[in-house]
C-alpha cells in the first residue's frame, strides 16, 4: 500500500442497481428518514456514486453539489444534482467557499482512505459547513459481530487475511469508538448514532440475526455492522429530537 502522502483514491464506479440489494434497501430507508427537508439551502454529497442520495437531497429541496472520483459516477449523478465535481473529495472541497453549506453527506467514504487522509477530509468538511451545518456520515464498524469474527478473531487471533469488511477497496475499517473520537477531534459534536444490523455469519456460531435491524440506544447503536452518525459543527448547539429505541425488523 502506498504511503498516506502518496495515496490515490480508488475509482469505484457502480450503478443504481446496487441499491436493489436487500441490505441496501434497509439502509436506504434509515438514511432517507435522517436527511432533513430544506428550503433551497446548499448541500454536498461527498463520494456520491451514481447519485442516489443526491437525488434524495434534491427531492428534499436541497441545492446539491455532488463529488466523486469516478467519471461514470459523475455522469450519472449529473442527472440528480444541481452541480457535479469530479476529483478527490478533499481537493474539491478545498475549492469551495467557507461556511456556505447547510448539510454534507459522507456515506461509506472514509473507510476508502488512510486515517490521516480521512482526518483531512473531515477538517475540510468542517470548514465549508455553516455554523449550524450538519454532517451525516456512515462507515462499516469493526466493533460489531462481523468485526469481532472477521477482524478480532480472524485477523488478529487466527492470523487469517486482512479483514476488509468484504470490499477490497477498503483501506481502514474503524471501530465505532475510534470513529466518534475522530469526528470530535475534527470539530464535530455528535448528536445521534444509529447502528444498522443485518443477517450475518460468525465463526463457531454460524448464521445469526437480531430481532431488530437498527438501534439508537447504547450499546447497540455502537455495535452495528454499519454505524450512521449525525453531528454538527462544534460552534453550534443543536438539540436532537431522537427518542432512543431499537427498531424491529419488518417481516419479509
Domains and CATH numbers, the chain: 11-233 (3.40.50.150)
Vertex 14: Cα angle to 162 and 224 (nearest 5): 50
pTM of the model: 0.87
Of 135, 148, 157, nearest in space to 225 by CA: 148
Omega cis (within 30) before 208: no
Instruction: Characterize the bridge pairing of strands 200-202 and 188-196.
Output: unpaired
* Tens digits of residue pLDDT in 233-251: 997 444 444 444 676 655 4
Question: What average pLDDT does the chain have?
Answer: 87
* Tens digits of residue pLDDT in 41-53: 999 999 999 999 9
Angle 176-185/115-128 helices, nearest 10 degrees?
A: 50
Amino acid at each position: 500500500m502506498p504511503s498516506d502522502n502518496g495515496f490515490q483514491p480508488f475509482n469505484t464506479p457502480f450503478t443504481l442497481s446496487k441499491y436493489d440489494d436487500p441490505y441496501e434497501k434497509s439502509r436506504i430507508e434509515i438514511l432517507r428518514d435522517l436527511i432533513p427537508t430544506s428550503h433551497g439551502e446548499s448541500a454536498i454529497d461527498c463520494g456520491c456514486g451514481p447519485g442516489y442520495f443526491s437525488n434524495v437531497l434534491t427531492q428534499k429541496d436541497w441545492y446539491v453539489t455532488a463529488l466523486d472520483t469516478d467519471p461514470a459516477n459523475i455522469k450519472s449523478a449529473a442527472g440528480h444534482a444541481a452541480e457535479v465535481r469530479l476529483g478527490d473529495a478533499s481537493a474539491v472541497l478545498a475549492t469551495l467557499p467557507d461556511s456556505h453549506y447547510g448539510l454534507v453527506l459522507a456515506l461509506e467514504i472514509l473507510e476508502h482512505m488512510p486515517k490521516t487522509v480521512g482526518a483531512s477530509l473531515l477538517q475540510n468538511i468542517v470548514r465549508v459547513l455553516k455554523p449550524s451545518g450538519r454532517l451525516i456520515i456512515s462507515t462499516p464498524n469493526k466493533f460489531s459481530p462481523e468485526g469481532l469474527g472477521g477482524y478480532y478473531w480472524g485477523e488478529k487471533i487466527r492470523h487469517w487475511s486482512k479483514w476488509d469488511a468484504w470490499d477490497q477497496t477498503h483501506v481502514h475499517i474503524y471501530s465505532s469508538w475510534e470513529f466518534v473520537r475522530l469526528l470530535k477531534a475534527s470539530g464535530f459534536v455528535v448528536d445521534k448514532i444509529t447502528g444498522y444490523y443485518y443477517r450475518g455469519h460468525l465463526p463457531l456460531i454460524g448464521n445469526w440475526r437480531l430481532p431488530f435491524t437498527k438501534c439508537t440506544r447504547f450499546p447497540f447503536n455502537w455495535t452495528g455492522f454499519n454505524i450512521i452518525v449525525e453531528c454538527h459543527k462544534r460552534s453550534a448547539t443543536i438539540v436532537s429530537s431522537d427518542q432512543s429505541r431499537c427498531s424491529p425488523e419488518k417481516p419479509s
